[in-house]
Structure 1
Amino acid sequence: MEVPRIHLLPAGRRRAVAVVGVLLLGLASGCSSAVSVSPQETTPPKPVSSKPAPPKPEPRRVDPATLPAATTFGTTADAVPDPDPRAGTNGIVLRVKQEVTVHDAPRGTPVARLPATQFESPTWVPIVEERGDWARVLLPSRPNGSTGWVRIGVSAPVSKARTPYVVEVDIDARRLVVRKSGREIGTWTVGVGAPGTRTPRGRTFILANIRETVTDFSPIVLPLGTHSATLTTYGGGPGTVALHGWPDPSVFGTASSDGCVRVPKDALRLLRSLPLGTLVLLR
């Protein structure tokens, strides 16, 4: 019987062949494993939905007549407080051409109605924030610092404009400054509220321009969108704070008013020329 011949390789070549064999075996095992996995064992991809995203809910519909009026005579208890009462704005003001509904957030709950006139003057209110087709505006109603959101889209009965003016009143220093595009164009010493009837602080605006016919202390009175914190009524009105003149110049530089800011004649002459809605910072 013939004995088969065995050809031995050198040790180095035997190790190389063994390694190659292991690699081939591993590759073969890997491929066979991939092929042998049944479809039931593979997680199918999630189907992509072709349905459109659900539309955003419309604001809750209410009868505007049931909402409180955002005027100097009204109280809008559910209005949102001013988030930054010491800040300025970019000068954009909103003209309300016909009564609009005020919401607590964009597409939110109705909380008030903003009429087209204030003291028989057209309603102009400062915009303090914008989000898409919505604008957050300062309101002239109590409590002080009330704000709300109104629609400003193409179909909304509103329009926007820009005023370059800002009125700043330093209550402690009893100083009033008017700025145009950031540049000071007038500064005066003024009278402010007495200790028991302090002038309120915060940002507000020129609400109306009224020719005074009842009293003679000032030919023009400029009501602001803010109120006395201590007086609920004054002279038949709702305690509205105003910029106005005073016949006795000795009051300028004193804290002696019922909350209003008393200004000299030349200051009143400039103030009465400013657009309605102009921002007033009471600091």
Structure 2
Amino acid sequence: MPLDAPYRLIGAVLVATSLVASTPAGVAASPVALASAASITATALPQATTFTELSGLPQDTDTFGKLSGVVVHPTRAVAVYASPGGKPAATLPAKQLGSQTWVPVVEGRKGWYRVLLPSKPNHVTGWIKAEGLKKARSRYRAIVKLGTRQLTVMNASKKLGTWTVAVGGPETPTPAGRTFMLALMSPKKKTYSPLILPLGTHSATLDTFGGGPGTVAFHGWPDRKVFGKAVTHGCIRVPARALKVLAGLPLGTPVLIAP
């Protein structure tokens, strides 16, 4: 199924934001330092964002399985359920980090989708009603192999490129499993990367980083000597060409981080 027009535009839009802390070149800066000031307006239910930890919701049990590429976008905040027809446990907002919220579908039932959520704990999922959602399919996927420190980006069966990257060090490993492209951010100030691409996963060893929730992301790095090494705080540092390709992927695109 081809991408619909609103979805096709997402990967090309740069969102100016102050959520990423400015860090001088050469200073370790991953996971992404998301300012805690970006808290969401409080509601009766917790919001499913990268800043929150949710409970009472099912885990993704097929953490290394291939996602179908079906993604959905709530045009307004929607309730998230532990099971279809149950009591709501959270809400999924229409925007995340200044970008539209697109989340991948892991399971479907009549009138319902179970989707990956960007919150802690990693691999948390929830059911949302299909009514009122925008739906599309991403032909793209990004695959990170931690052992070989390789990133490959695919468009269906076509390989767009393979690059050597830097991944998390022994004490702050990059979390494995399937996740997704959560947002695209352009720092207002010059920093270690012209773009930050947060994912829907978090460091397993750092509860916070730089005042934020330890969100893992793709981003560039000024010193090419790091590529091929396990030296980051959990983020995936990529060469400039790889960053450009990743920035062109639609939000919600599946990302598989393999051992």
* TM-score, scaled relative to structure 2: 0.82
Rounded to whole Å, the distance in 2 between the matches of 1:219 and 1:235 is 18
Instruction: Kindly provide the CA deviation profile for residues 92-130 of structure 1, in whole angstroms up to 9, marking residues without a partner as x.
Output: 100110000001111123111100110011100001111
Partner residue, 1:50: none
Partner residue, 2:205: 230
Partner residue, 1:209: 184
Rounded to whole Å, the distance in 2 between the matches of 1:259 and 1:75 is 19
Moved more, 226-235 or 93-102: 226-235
Rounded to whole Å, the distance in 2 between the matches of 1:73 and 1:175 is 28
SS in 2 for 1:269: helix
Q: Is there any run of 5+ residues in structure 2 with no aligned partner, and where?
A: 1-41
Partner residue, 2:97: 119
CA contact (8 A) 1:246 1:262 kept: yes
Rounded to whole Å, the distance in 2 between the matches of 1:126 and 1:211 is 23
SS in 2 for 1:253: coil
| Aligned pairs for 1:175-254 within 5 A | 175-214=150-189, 216-254=191-229
Rounded to whole Å, the distance in 1 between the matches of 2:184 and 2:246 is 10
Judging by fraction of residues, say which structure has more helix. Answer: 1
Rounded to whole Å, the distance in 2 between the matches of 1:182 and 1:138 is 24
Partner residue, 1:88: 66
Structure 2 residue identity aligned to 1:132: K
Pair 1:166 & 2:144 matched: no
* TM-score, scaled relative to structure 1: 0.75
Partner residue, 1:269: 244
CA contact (8 A) 1:79 1:112 kept: no
Partner residue, 1:78: 56
Rounded to whole Å, the distance in 2 between the matches of 1:228 and 1:207 is 15
SS in 1 for 2:142: strand
Rounded to whole Å, the distance in 1 between the matches of 2:56 and 2:215 is 20
Rounded to whole Å, the distance in 2 between the matches of 1:233 and 1:223 is 15
| Aligned pairs for 1:148-159 within 5 A | 148-152=126-130, 156-159=131-134
CA contact (8 A) 1:190 1:261 kept: yes
Partner residue, 2:112: 134
CA contact (8 A) 1:75 1:141 kept: yes
Partner residue, 2:85: 107
The alignment of Structure 1 onto Structure 2 pairs a total of residues equal to 217
Greater RCO, 1 or 2 (C-alpha within 8 Å, sep 6+):
2
Pair 1:67 & 2:57 matched: no
Rounded to whole Å, the distance in 1 between the matches of 2:196 and 2:43 is 30
Aligned-residue RMSD, C-alpha: 1.2
Rounded to whole Å, the distance in 2 between the matches of 1:278 and 1:197 is 25
SS in 2 for 1:66: coil
Rounded to whole Å, the distance in 1 between the matches of 2:53 and 2:106 is 20
| Aligned pairs for 1:4-43 within 5 A | none
